[in-house]
Amino acid sequence: MVLIVTDFRAVPSEAKGCAVALGNFDGVHAGHQAVIGSAAKAAEEKNVPLAALVFEPPPRRFFAPDSEPFRIMRPEKRRQALADLGVSVIFELPFNAEMAGMGPDEFIQTVLVDGLNLSHLSVGFDFRFGRGREGDTFTLQRAADEKGFSLSVMDRVTDGTSKVSSTAIRQALQDGQPDKAAQLLGHYWCVDGVIEHGEKRGRTIGFPTANLKLGNLLNPRHGVYAVWMRLDGEGDWIGGVANFGRTPTTGIRDPLLEVYLFGFSGELYDTPVEIALVSFLRDEHKFDSLEAMTHAIADDVQNAMSLLKDMADQQLRISQLPLPNAPSLL
C-alpha cells in the first residue's frame, strides 16, 4: 500500500526522513526511472522509505489553466507506475499560489527540510525549481551540504540520439508516431477510462464502436490507429482499430476515441478499459458520403488486423509492454 501525502505541513511520522525522487514523472519513462532508481539506492543504503515528490496539479496547469490537455498518464496510473518501482510514499503536493511564490531557498527549507525532513534527494540534471525557476542543481547541492541531506543528480538519458523526456513523448504522439512514443516510454502509450454512450452510428454501418473521451490526457494526432484494448484492467488484450478525432464526415464534435474491436459482441457501456495505441494508419478525413467512409473503415480494419497479427505471430514486444504472449484478435 502506497501512502499518499498531500500537505507538506502535515507529514505523518512514517513518511518523514525518506529518500525522495523529485520530478513531474509524467509517463514514468526511462529518465524518470533513473532518478527513482538513484533514490532507491540511497533508501536502501540509509534504510529509509523510498518516496516520490510530484506536484498535483502540475505547475503547467497552474500557470496556463486554459492550455490544451498535456498529461501522458492520469495521476492514478502514475501512482501505480511509481509503486511498481518500489515507491512506498508519494508526496502529491498542490502547486498553488503559495508554492509558485516560494524562492528556491524557501522551498528547500520549508518543504523539503522542515516538512519532509528528507534524508536524500534525487533529481535530473536539468531540474529547475522555485519562483521564476531560479533554483537549479547547484542550488540544491549547496543546500544539501549545509542542511545535511545527500543529493544525487542523474545524467541525461537518451534513446541513442536524443534525450528521453515527457516533451519528446508528447511530440511523438501529436505527430502520429505512437511507435516512437513507445520506444521512449518503454511500453505502448495507454489511455484509460470508462466507455460512454455515443451516437451509435457505427452499428448502423456494421462497425459498432466503444467510445472514450480522453479528458485531461494528451490529445494524439487525429486519425486512425491499430490498437489493443483490455476490459476491466484484466484478462486478454483484444485487437482493434480506432479513430481519434472530430468525425468531420458525420458532424464535427469534441474529440473522441472510437474503438472497433475485431469480432467482439456485447455491450461495453460503463466498462473501464485500457487502450494501447500501437500504430498510426492514416489521418482523419472528411468523406464525400457515408458509403465512402464505410469502405475506408473496412480497409482500416484489414490493415490494422494484418499489422497486429504480424506482431502477435512474431512476438514483437516492446520492453515492459503490458500485453500477454498471445493477444486475441477474436
Task: Specify the range with the lowest mean pLDDT, choosing from 5-14, 63-72, 194-203, 224-233.
Answer: 194-203
Q: Which residue has the higher pLDDT, 213 or 316?
A: 213
Instruction: Give the best-scoring range by mean pLDDT among 39-53, 224-238, 254-268.
Output: 39-53
* Percentage of the chain exceeding pLDDT 90: 73
On whether the 3-154 domain is CATH 3.30.360.10, my answer is no
DSSP H/E element including 5: strand 3-5
What are the extents of the domains in the chain? Answer: 3-154, 176-314
> What are the pLDDT digits (tens) for 82-137?
999 999 999 999 999 999 999 999 999 999 999 999 999 999 999 999 999 999 99
The span from the CA of 29 to the CA of 166, in Å, is 8
8-state DSSP, 217: B
What number is the average pLDDT over the span 205-213? Answer: 85
- As a whole number, the mean pLDDT across the chain is 90
Q: All 3 cell numbers of residue 287?
A: 468523406
What number is the average pLDDT over the span 208-222? Answer: 94
Q: All 3 cell numbers of residue 244?
A: 481519434
What number is the average pLDDT over the span 276-292? Answer: 90
At residue 318, the pLDDT reads 39
Residues in the chain: 330
DSSP H/E element including 144: helix 137-147
Give 253's contacts (C-beta < 8 A, 6+ positions apart).
246, 247
Nearest to 95 by CA among 121, 69, 131: 131
Q: What kind of fold does domain 176-314 have according to CATH?
A: Elongation Factor Tu (Ef-tu); domain 3 (2.40.30)
At residue 285, the pLDDT reads 87
> What are the pLDDT digits (tens) for 22-66?
999 999 999 999 999 999 999 999 999 999 999 999 999 999 999
The span from the CA of 58 to the CA of 6, in Å, is 13
Long-range contacts, stretch 245-252, CB < 8 angstroms, 24+ apart: 245/284, 246/222, 246/284, 247/284, 248/284, 248/285, 248/286, 249/285, 249/286, 249/287, 249/290, 249/293, 250/199, 250/201, 250/290, 250/293
pTM of the entire structure? 0.89
At residue 199, the pLDDT reads 60
pLDDT reading at 322 higher than 80? no
Residue 64 near residue 7, CB atoms below 8 Å: no
Nearest to 36 by CA among 74, 2, 71, 82: 82
